[in-house]
């Protein structure tokens, strides 16, 4: 069973996933996956994954067989597991929980060697629809405080599988980064009775210099204080706190914006490795309604996607300070991305 | 001039170092430095660096010529610059400062291809002595709130130069990570009138299972909630808040402990890339004495070194959550490291 440990200095949780353990010289490194090994995410290899949680199968047919368009399976080496009750205990000055949670993989396509941005827009819609379905389903488990949707694409972005996929990790505590965003949004709202993210979007749309794609329902921009070159922020124009409540029309628009942005990044930066993550509210069902988080969360939080092309390594300065050095002014990055010609 | 920008969502500062800018496809990537280029850090190539700030030259002799043992130079592409007054302004909902600060490189040896852990212990003493000298000198500049000493060793750890070196970046604000540690330490002290770090050291020395090196004046251990496999924490046994006040005897002991730990990591993990950072208090001279930070800082903060071997990539989950997944229980890492045979 994995366990969660709390660092009282940085106040962050760590998952000690000892099922993934290996002797020191066999630990994963920045290196290629063995060539020629069959891919468990390819159509026809369904038996190589744990049994599927759900799949999009327009023509029906049995589970764990070909005929799917999007497929969701448990991670074979999960960072957290769904079994058991959550137990919390003190270890002297430290805190420990057992590793209750969920870790799922969304296989985005049957094709082994295709970039998410190159998939047809209808397929990207199905993928986003699948994210929503999984978030709604996982939220029924009251042990799970937060569900993080994230994508690792490329070796240096931490992807161990080349076949395009997204992951969801559901954790029994709200992660530090999300808690920080919730806190900032709440402080801003209490001060001004406005959403911090809506204020930022309004300012960016007024100025225009950091806008990459200005769609009917979604805006993609390079944040004013971008940590990384060509970092992208995508948010719905209309205020909404919860990705899990995205409607079908918004899914269609988001698929178009996401495809557009991913293709611009791919062309502009010569197909870099990248990560993206979705930040939405914690699982309301898992937290008493009257705690500080919830009183205004519908008004103060605004869900969004962060995309990070992985160009340079994060080094000692960033690790030691939480400060970032970015060589590319975001205004310049936005201009380069806007100038990309898509057919 | 570089500029500092503040992210109101994550409350973190970013350095937009546009002097380092490059077109999108020329941005630094994870790749080898060009082979055969002369190294500006090697003895004899002193003219290739900006003029030296200081050097250890036991036999005297002119600056910027051979004959040194440790040499400090400004970074040729500084993230921050020492010129000018600090200007702060609002950019709508955002904040901006001009990039006042300092960025120095400590060249640890005249030899091009040697690992810090393989240097003679007397040389490691000189390097630590140099860190102290630079911190004391930089602290005279009241614009500089914090001085971060950090080392990138190896490509995946973000080192652009192979020749062993350390860097110091001095910033006009206290970095978020340090502010978080200061806050945790202060809360613990106000609650218990004890140092959080002293409490952790006492608990770890009692248990022993995560101790790597237990020296007369320094302890090296794998933290209970290690983010990364084989992460190491080194701290003085005796409570002290400021690395800049380290005495000569402690320098001798620290050099031995650091060499021991670096060699264990090198042997155990097959010479991995690594980062280390020193966390000490902010520059007291730059901050009014009566602000919240300072009332108990001598009692509540405890300087320390964090060493991070860079084995696996940090991926979307970590970026999106501030949560870490570590496959190696720190007890196991400590055992492996203790079992390494050094001559």
CATH of the domain at B210: 3.30.428.10
Q: What is the pLDDT of residue A14?
A: 80
Q: What is the pLDDT of residue B284?
A: 83
Q: Which two tokens stand for residue B301?
A: 């903060």
Q: What is the pLDDT of residue B90?
A: 86
pLDDT at residue A166 is higher than 60: yes
pLDDT at residue A214 is higher than 90: yes
Q: What is the pLDDT of residue A98?
A: 84
What mean pLDDT comes out for the span B94-114?
92
Q: Does residue B11 sit in helix, strand or coil?
A: coil
Rounded to 10 deg, the angle between the B330-339 and B248-268 helix axes is: 100
Q: What is the pLDDT of residue B321?
A: 83
Least confident of A11-15, A71-75, A134-138: A11-15
B16 touches A324 (CB < 8 A): no
Identify each DSSP E strand in chain B by its residue range. 3-7, 12-16, 54-56, 70-74, 88-91, 94-98, 102-107, 146-153, 165-171, 211-214, 218-221, 232-236, 274-279, 304-309, 324-326
Q: For A8-28, what is each residue's pLDDT tens digit? A: 877 777 887 776 666 776 665
Q: For A293-336, what is each residue's pLDDT tens digit? A: 567 888 899 999 999 999 877 788 888 888 888 888 999 999 99
Q: B192 lies in a domain? A: yes
Q: What is the pLDDT of residue A108?
A: 98
Q: What is the pLDDT of residue A290?
A: 57
Q: How many CA atoms lie within 13 A of A67 on its CB side?
A: 10
Separation between Cα atoms, residue A298 and residue A218, nearest integer Å: 19
CB contact under 8 A, B322 and A157: no
Q: B20 lies in a domain? A: no
Q: A156 lies in a domain? A: yes
What pLDDT band is residue B17 in, cutting at 50, 70 and 90? confident
pLDDT at residue A292 is higher than 60: no
Separation between Cα atoms, residue B282 and residue B300, nearest integer Å: 13
For residue A265, the chain B residue with the least C-alpha distance is B24
What mean pLDDT comes out for the span A40-52?
96
Q: A26 lies in a domain? A: no
Identify each DSSP E strand in A39-101 by its residue range. 54-56, 70-74, 88-91, 94-98
Q: What is the pLDDT of residue A195?
A: 94
Q: What is the pLDDT of residue B44?
A: 96
Q: Which two tokens stand for residue B152?
A: 């990138």
B232 against B27, higher pLDDT: B232
A78 against A312, higher pLDDT: A78
Task: State how many domains chain B has.
Answer: 1
pLDDT at residue B30 is higher than 60: no
pLDDT at residue A288 is higher than 80: no
What mean pLDDT comes out for the span B87-116?
91
Question: What 8-state DSSP symbol labels residue A80?
Answer: S
Averaged pLDDT of chain A: 90
What pLDDT band is residue B78 in, cutting at 50, 70 and 90? confident
Residues present in chain A in total: 343
Least confident of A189-203, A247-261, B75-89: B75-89
Q: Which two tokens stand for residue B317?
A: 């989950």
What mean pLDDT comes out for the span A181-204?
93
- The closest CB to that of B224, out of A94, A316, A317, belongs to A94
Q: Which domain holds residue B235?
A: 4-8+39-339
- The closest CB to that of B5, out of A169, A224, A332, belongs to A224
What pLDDT band is residue A258 in, cutting at 50, 70 and 90? very high
Tokens 């229980």 — which residue?
Answer: B329
For residue B275, the chain A residue with the least C-alpha distance is A316
Task: List CB contacts (< 8 A) between B267 and chain A.
Answer: none
pLDDT at residue B329 is higher than 80: yes
Q: What is the pLDDT of residue A235?
A: 98
Separation between Cα atoms, residue A113 and residue A163, nearest integer Å: 6
Task: List CB contacts (< 8 A) between A314 and chain B.
Answer: 158, 314
- How many Cβ pairs closer than 8 A exist between chain A and B? 323
Give me the phi and psi of A240, to 5 degrees please: -155, 140
Q: What is the pLDDT of residue A313?
A: 73
Residues forming beta bridges with residue A103, ordered by sequence position: A169
Q: B15 lies in a domain? A: no
Q: How many CA atoms lie within 13 A of B75 on its CB side?
A: 23
DSSP H or E run through A274 = strand A274-279
Q: What is the pLDDT of residue B295?
A: 74
Looking at chain B, the number of H-run helices and the number of E-run strands are: 7, 15
What radius of gyration do chain A's Cα atoms show?
20
pLDDT at residue A123 is higher than 80: yes
pLDDT at residue B268 is higher than 80: yes
Q: Which residues of A are catalytic?
A: 165
A235 touches A304 (CB < 8 A): yes
What mean pLDDT comes out for the span B254-282?
96
Least confident of A28-37, B68-77, B257-266: A28-37
Q: What is the pLDDT of residue A156?
A: 84
Separation between Cα atoms, residue A22 and residue B269, nearest integer Å: 12
Interface test with B, best of A9, A30, A301, A311 (most B CBs within 10 A): A9
DSSP A222-248: --TT-SSTT-EEEEESS--S-GGG--H
Q: Sheet harboring A218-221: ordered strands across? A: A54-56, A70-74, A102-107, A165-171, A146-153, A274-279, A304-309, A232-236, A218-221, A211-214
What mean pLDDT comes out for the span B13-42?
72
What pLDDT band is residue B14 in, cutting at 50, 70 and 90? confident
Could you tell me if A275 lies within 8 Å of chain B, comparing CB atoms? yes
pLDDT at residue B29 is higher than 90: no
Q: A21 lies in a domain? A: no
For residue A173, the chain B residue with the least C-alpha distance is B323
What pLDDT band is residue B33 in, cutting at 50, 70 and 90? low
CB contact under 8 A, B8 and A200: yes
Separation between Cα atoms, residue A227 and residue A324, nearest integer Å: 5
Identify each DSSP E strand in A112-269 by its residue range. 146-153, 165-171, 211-214, 218-221, 232-236
pLDDT at residue A157 is higher than 70: yes
Q: Which of residues 186-205 of A touch B (CB under 8 A)?
A: 188, 196-197, 199-200, 203
CB contact under 8 A, A316 and B223: no
Least confident of A216-230, A232-246, B235-249, B291-305: B291-305
Q: A227 lies in a domain? A: yes
Could you tell me if A328 lies within 8 Å of chain B, comparing CB atoms? yes
CB contact under 8 A, A321 and B177: yes
Separation between Cα atoms, residue B272 and residue A24, nearest integer Å: 10
B94 against A305, higher pLDDT: A305
Averaged pLDDT of chain B: 90
Other CB atoms closer than 10 Å to residue B86's CB: what's the count? 16
Residues present in chain B in total: 343
- Whole-number percent of chain B with pLDDT over 70: 93
- The closest CB to that of A270, out of B13, B25, B197, belongs to B25
pLDDT at residue B264 is higher than 90: yes
pTM: 0.91
What mean pLDDT comes out for the span B253-280?
96
What pLDDT band is residue B125 in, cutting at 50, 70 and 90? very high
B219 against B228, higher pLDDT: B219
Q: Which residues of B are catalytic?
A: 165
Could you tell me if A342 lies within 8 Å of chain B, comparing CB atoms? no
Q: A22 lies in a domain? A: no
Give me the phi and psi of A249, to 5 degrees please: -65, -40
What pLDDT band is residue A81 in, cutting at 50, 70 and 90? confident
């Amino acid at each position: 069973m994995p366990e969660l440990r709390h660092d009282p200095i940085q106040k962050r949780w760590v998952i000690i996933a000892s099922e993934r353990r290996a002797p020191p010289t066999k630990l994963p490194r920045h290196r290629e996956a063995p060539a020629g090994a069959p891919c468990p995410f390819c159509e026809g290899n369904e038996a190589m994954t744990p049994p599927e949680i759900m799949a999009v199968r327009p023509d029906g047919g049995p589970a764990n067989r070909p005929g799917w368009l999007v497929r969701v399976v448990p991670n074979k080496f999960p960072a957290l597991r769904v079994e058991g009750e959550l137990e919390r205990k003190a270890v002297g000055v430290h805190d420990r929980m057992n590793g209750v949670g969920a870790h799922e993989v969304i296989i985005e396509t049957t094709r082994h060697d295709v970039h998410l941005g190159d998939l047809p827009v209808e397929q990207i819609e199905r993928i986003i629809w699948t994210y929503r379905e999984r978030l709604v389903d996982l939220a029924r488990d009251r042990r799970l405080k937060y569900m993080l949707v994230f994508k690792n694409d490329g070796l240096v972005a931490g992807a161990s599988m080349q076949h395009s996929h997204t992951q969801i990790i559901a954790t029994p505590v709200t992660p530090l980064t999300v808690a920080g965003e919730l806190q900032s949004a709440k402080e801003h709202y209490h001060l001004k009775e406005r959403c911090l993210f809506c204020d930022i979007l309004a300012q960016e749309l007024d100025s225009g210099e950091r806008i990459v794609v200005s769609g009917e329902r979604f805006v993609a921009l390079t944040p004013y204080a971008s940590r990384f070159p060509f970092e992208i922020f995508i948010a719905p124009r209309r205020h909404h706190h919860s990705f899990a409540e995205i409607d079908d029309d918004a899914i269609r628009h988001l698929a178009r914006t996401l495809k557009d942005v991913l293709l611009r990044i791919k062309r502009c930066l010569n197909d870099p490795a990248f990560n993206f993550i979705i930040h939405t509210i914690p699982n309301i069902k898992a937290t008493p309604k009257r705690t500080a988080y919830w009183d205004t969360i519908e008004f103060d939080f605004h869900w969004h996607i962060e995309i990070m092309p992985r160009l340079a390594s994060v080094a000692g300065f960033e690790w030691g300070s939480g400060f970032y050095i970015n060589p590319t002014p975001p205004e310049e990055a936005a201009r380069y991305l806007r100038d990309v010609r898509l057919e």
